[in-house]
Amino acid sequence: MARLSFAAHPFLLGFEQIDRLVEKTIKTGNDGFPPYNIELSDENNYKITLAVAGFIEEELSIILQERQLIITGKQVEKQNRATFIHRGIAARQFQKNFVLADGVEVEGAELDKGLLSIFLVKKDLGPSVQSIKITKAG
C-alpha cells in the first residue's frame, strides 16, 4: 500500500518541503536524551533549554537547515584513571531536531551551568496579498 502524504493533495502546491521535514522529524530518534524544555515568554519569543551536563561549547553544535533546527552534542572521551563504581552522567552523543515555522528565527544561544538555551523569535511576515495582472495571449 502506497504512503499518501498531505502534500499529495491537489490543492496544496509546493508543500513538498514541509512533507520532507515532517518525514525527517518522524524518523529522528527521540530517546529523551538530553531532557529539554520549551518556553514561551510572550507571543513572539521562545526558548529551548537542553540539559547538557558535562558538555563544553566546543562539543555542541547548533545548525539551522531547511527550517530544521539541529542540535548535536559529541563529548570527547577524556583519559581518566578513575575507576567508576557508578557512572550516571552520560558521556554519549545526541541529536535533537526541531522544525521551525516560517518567520521563526534563531536569535542566539548560551551555555550556562550545564544548560544550553536557544533563543527564538517569531518575526511578523505581514499581510501577503498580491494582485496578479492578466494579459492577453498572442
Q: Which amino acid is at 61?
A: S
Using CA atoms, how far apart are residues 98 and 46, in angstroms rounded to an integer? 12
In this prediction, residue 45 has a pLDDT band, given cuts at 50, 70 and 90, of very high
Residue 119 has pLDDT above 90, yes or no: yes
**DSSP single-letter state for residue 116:** E
In this prediction, residue 51 has a pLDDT band, given cuts at 50, 70 and 90, of very high
Residue-wise pLDDT tens digits, 66-104: 888 999 999 877 776 778 888 777 678 999 999 898 889
Q: What is the mean pLDDT of the chain?
A: 84
Q: How remote is the C-alpha of 28 from its chain's centroid?
A: 11
In this prediction, residue 135 has a pLDDT band, given cuts at 50, 70 and 90, of confident
Using CA atoms, how far apart are residues 56 and 78, in angstroms rounded to an integer? 13
Give the residue with greater pLDDT, 91 vs 114: 114
Domains and CATH numbers, the chain: 31-76+89-123 (2.60.40.790)
Residue 1 has pLDDT above 60, yes or no: no
Per-residue burial over 72-100, b = 16 or more CB atoms within 10 Å of its CB, e = otherwise: ebebeeeeeeeeeeeeeeeeeebebbbeb
Phi, psi at 23, each rounded to 5°: -60, -45
Residue 21 has pLDDT above 80, yes or no: no
3-state DSSP assignment of residue 103: coil
Instruction: Dig out the grid coordinates for 114 from the structure.
Output: 550545564
- Rounded to whole angstroms, what are the CA distances from 21 to 8, 25, 74, 106? 15, 6, 24, 18
